[in-house]
């Protein structure tokens, strides 16, 4: 495809001082002379080396991700958790040759997934330990094969009509307005990665102040199960598409167990059930384009009583310390999925106001890279 490099230059929207400053600074950063000078100066050399390393990591990131995928697929992280492993042991476990096993072990150690504990022997590294224990993150690593298939030609992905099917839009049936099969793969993926998200929401907001909570787009009920464990007095409900609710019923046992109501429906066409003083939208809004997102917020507004609360929990754009996660990762992920976009907390604030809510607050979460929380009320 051809890219028009002419358009977009000389826009009068950009203040002249900003354009000049950024152009000057970037000229300095790009200069080989400046780079060589910075590498020789004490203190500055430390920053320069770190910047060079970050630039290299950005270039090589896909390769690192594939090392992680290989380590997960052959069961290396699980094996290392059990105790020291050498190349022969990994070869036996994985069916790889000893040379390939050694290559993988060394790559994993370079990425802190593994750690050399004696010549030729490895255990889990610190990063490997955190990931190995996080079943949701591991499920996402495996799931990324679909994302990478869509990203193989990123410019083609950006250029194509967003109605064209992709690997991710086929996986997330609702994004393509296609019916979900009964045992939905996406609900299983969401349930397995819910624990880390629920932890953020439960740490940021005191759900126990409510009487009845409805989780809209609640999938197989993993979030309400986590809420029930933390706040046993709360009456709980889940609203989701009929095939997903059938899966939730099977997973939760019959009708969903005590104090767990299951509501099948389509939030774009059916009214949400009333009588709940708290509604949650966990990893739901970012799946939808702005008009659909607003209509869902309006439906939530209609369902809540006066003083009722809406709690939004999902990864958000513009998150301090985790900006790449928002617009780079979820921006491209949701583009490949054919619907939705990551939004900042302030963008949600503006939408909530339009939908008729009274005000909003961002609540701090322990790991904002996993999810941010926004709370509003009627
Ligand atoms: C004690 C002393 C002195 C020092 C300690 C030093 C210290 C603080 C060490 C740190 C140890 C520690 C506590 C580590 C914690 C690590 C954690 C919490 C790691 C968490 C990792 C989480 C990851 C990698 C999450 C990844 C999530 C992904 C990729 C989610 C993808 C979600 C998708 C694609 C969702 C799709 C749904 C849709 C369609 C968008 O709606
Ligand atoms: C990304 S998943 C999040 C699931 C769950 N909240 C979680 O965080 O694990 C989005 C959920 O919204 C549901 N959903 C999508 N479109 C819907 C619609 N029109 N009506 C009801 N639920 C819908 C999906 O079935 C899915 O369970």
Q: Residue 311 sits in a domain of what CATH number?
A: 3.40.50.150
179 shares a domain with 127: no
CA-closest residue to ligand 2 atom 22:
240
Residue 344's pLDDT is 98
Say if residue 280 is in the same domain as residue 353: yes
Looking at the fold, whether 197 and 300 belong to one and the same domain comes out as yes
Last residue of one domain, picked from the residues 71, 105, 132: 132
Domain hosting 125: range is 18-132
Does residue 140's CB lie within 6 angstroms of at least one atom of ligand 1? Answer: yes
Q: Cα(361) to centroid of ligand 1, in Å?
A: 24
Neighbours of 162 (CB within 10 A): 14
Phi, psi of 236 (to 5 degrees): -125, 150
> Residue 291: in which H helix or E strand, if any?
helix 290-303
Residue 187 CA to ligand 2 centre (angstroms): 8
Q: Is 195 in the pocket of ligand 1 (CB under 6 A)?
A: no
User: How many Å lie between the centroid of ligand 2 and the Cα of residue 218?
Assistant: 6
- Is the C-beta atom of 172 inside 6 A of ligand 2? no
Does ligand 1 have an atom closer than 6 angstroms to the CB of 240? no
199 occurs within a structural domain: yes
CA of 335 from ligand 2 middle (Å) equals 17
The pLDDT assigned to 181 comes to: 60
Ligand 2 close to Cβ of residue 266 (< 6 A): yes
Residue 127 and residue 205 share a domain: no
Residue-level pLDDT at 250: 86
Domain match, 312 and 368 both? yes
Domain identity same for 180 and 284: yes
Domain co-membership, 114 together with 240: no
Q: Are residues 214 and 266 in the same domain?
A: yes
pLDDT of residue 36: 87
102 and 209 in a single domain? The answer is no
Q: What is the pLDDT of residue 228?
A: 95
Residue nearest to atom 18 of ligand 2 (CA): 266
Query: Is 283 inside a domain boundary?
Result: yes
Judge whether 285 lies within some domain.
yes
- 332: Cβ below 6 Å to ligand 1? no
DSSP 173-236: GGGGT-PPPSS-HHHHHHHHTHHHHHHHHHHHS-GGG-SEEEEET-TTSHHHHHHHHH-TT-EE
Pocket test of ligand 2: the residue of 241, 263, 264 to mutate, having most ligand atoms within 8 Å of its CB, is 241
Q: In this structure, which residue's CA is closest to atom 9 in ligand 2?
A: 190
Assess whether the C-beta atom of 148 lies below 6 angstroms from ligand 1: no
Query: CATH no. for residue 104?
Result: 1.10.10.10
- Domain boundary (107, 132, 157) is at 132
What angle in degrees, to the nearest 10, is found between the helix axes of 98-110 and 44-73?
A: 140
216 Cα to the center of ligand 1, angstroms: 24
Ligand lying closest to the C-alpha of residue 184: 2
Q: Which residues contact 299 (CB under 8 A, 6 or more apart)?
A: 267, 271, 272
Q: In order along the chain (378 residues), what is the average pLDDT of each group of 10 residues?
A: 55 87 90 88 90 96 97 98 97 97 98 98 98 96 97 95 90 79 79 95 98 97 96 96 91 67 96 98 98 98 97 97 95 97 98 96 96 97
Ligand that comes closest to the CA of residue 197: 2
If one counts the domains in the chain, the total is 2
Instruction: Identify which of 139, 180, 193 to mutate to test ligand 1's pocket (most ligand atoms within 8 A of the CB).
Output: 193
Within this chain, do residues 331 and 252 fall inside the same structural domain, yes or no? yes
222 plus 317 within the same structural domain: yes
């Amino acid at each position: 495809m051809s890219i028009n490099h002419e358009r977009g230059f000389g826009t009068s929207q950009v203040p002249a001082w900003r354009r000049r400053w950024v152009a000057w600074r970037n000229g300095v950063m790009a200069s080989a002379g400046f780079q060589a000078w910075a590498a020789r100066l004490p203190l500055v050399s430390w920053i320069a080396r770190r910047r060079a390393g970050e630039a290299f990591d950005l270039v090589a990131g896909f390769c690192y991700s594939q090392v992680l995928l290989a380590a997960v697929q052959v069961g290396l992280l699980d094996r290392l958790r059990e105790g020291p492993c050498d190349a022969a042991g990994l070869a036996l476990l994985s069916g790889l040759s000893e040379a390939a096993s050694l290559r993988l072990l060394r790559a994993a150690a370079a990425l802190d997934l593994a750690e050399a504990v004696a010549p030729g022997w490895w255990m889990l590294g610190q990063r490997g330990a955190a990931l190995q224990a996080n079943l949701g993150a591991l499920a996402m690593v495996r799931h990324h094969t679909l994302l990478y298939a869509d990203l193989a030609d990123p410019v083609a992905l950006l250029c194509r009509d967003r109605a064209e099917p992709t690997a991710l839009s086929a996986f997330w049936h609702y994004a393509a307005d296609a019916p979900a099969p009964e045992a939905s793969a996406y609900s299983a993926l969401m349930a397995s990665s819910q624990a880390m998200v629920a932890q953020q929401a439960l740490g940021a907001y005191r759900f126990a102040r409510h009487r009845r909570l409805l989780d809209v787009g609640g999938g197989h009920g993993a979030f309400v199960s986590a809420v029930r464990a933390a706040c046993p007095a709360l009456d709980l409900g889940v609203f989701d598409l009929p095939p997903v609710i059938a899966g939730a019923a099977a997973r939760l046992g019959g009708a969903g167990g005590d104090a767990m109501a299951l509501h099948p429906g389509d939030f774009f066409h059916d009214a949400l059930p009333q009588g709940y003083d708290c509604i949650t939208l966990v990893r739901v809004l970012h799946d939808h384009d702005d008009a659909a997102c607003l209509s869902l917020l309006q439906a939530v507004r209609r369902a809540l009583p006066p003083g009722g609360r809406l709690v939004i929990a999902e990864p958000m754009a513009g998150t301090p310390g985790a900006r790449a996660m928002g617009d780079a990762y979820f921006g491209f992920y949701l583009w490949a999925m054919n619907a939705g976009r990551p939004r900042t907390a302030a963008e949600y604030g503006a939408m909530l106001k339009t939908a008729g809510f009274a005000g909003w607050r961002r609540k701090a979460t322990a790991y904002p890279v996993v999810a941010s929380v926004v709370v509003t009320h009627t």
